[in-house]
Amino acid sequence: MKHDLIAAAVSFAVLSPVAAVAQALTLAPADPQPNASALAPGLAVKYATIPGNVRSVELARKSLDRRAEAGPPIAGLSFEDTNEGDRVLTSERAEQVAADISGFIKFDAAGSYTFDFLSNDGLQIAIGGQEVGFYDGVHPCGYVGEIEVEVPQAGYYAVEATYFQRKGTACLMMEIGPDSDGLELASDDIFFHQP
């Protein structure tokens, strides 16, 4: 009986287009829209040193809530996998770093977009009020998983992310495109923050 129920559930998931295709998330534009002249390039970042036993975004967030300090802005989400000993993002450290990242991404046109992110280690990121990436734990540089979004109008959309790197190498990248086949590394010139 149990095997029949499992087989039926698997058949439904395979045959049902609703189960097979995830609905695109609709992003909310920043309201009010920031004045372009009041923005600076890149994303704002605050850093905290994390204990060596931190292995989750949740624990990294707690470290940031206790003792985050502003660091130099990051140009965007284009940090390829580092070598051991290289600094993490714009921090002064090579290991045990948590980052609270905020700002805006600018879309020049409304439409459907596909995102994917790479991180080493954990990442939780929201754009336009929707979680668009979550890859928790300690792991090598790897993909979070593609997600389709709807951008209802051209303009600025809030970016909020928590990222951490425990030890070894680090990466943090965003790919964007019209679909899975057109994904490219997101250009740094689409990211902004309020200084």
For the chain, the domain total comes to 1
- Predicted confidence at residue 23, as pLDDT, reads 84
Domain membership of residue 138 (yes or no) is yes
Tell me: pLDDT of 33 over 50: yes
Domain membership of residue 38 (yes or no) is yes
Q: Output the furthest CA–CA distance in the chain (Å, rounded).
A: 66
Tell me: pLDDT of 5 over 50: no
Q: What is the CATH number of the domain that holds 70?
A: 2.60.120.1560
Phi, psi (deg, nearest 5) at residue 51: -65, 155
Domain membership of residue 8 (yes or no) is no
* pLDDT tens digits, 167-194: 999 999 999 999 989 999 999 999 999 9
Domain membership of residue 51 (yes or no) is yes
What residues have CB less than 8 Å from 152, skipping those under 6 apart? 26, 27, 29, 110
* pLDDT tens digits, 39-52: 999 999 999 999 99
Closest CA to 116 of 103, 133, 137: 133
* pLDDT tens digits, 113-134: 999 999 999 999 999 999 999 9
Band the pLDDT of 22: cuts 50, 70, 90: low
Domain membership of residue 5 (yes or no) is no
- Domain region containing 124: 23-193
Calculate what percentage of the chain has a pLDDT beyond 90: 88
For the purposes of burial, counting CB atoms within 10 Å of the CB of 3, is it exposed (0-12), middle (13-18) or buried (19 or more)? exposed
Domain membership of residue 13 (yes or no) is no
Domain membership of residue 1 (yes or no) is no
Domain membership of residue 105 (yes or no) is yes
What residues have CB less than 8 Å from 73, skipping those under 6 apart? 40, 41, 42, 43, 44, 45, 90, 103, 193
Q: How, if at all, do strands 69-74 and 111-120 pair?
A: unpaired
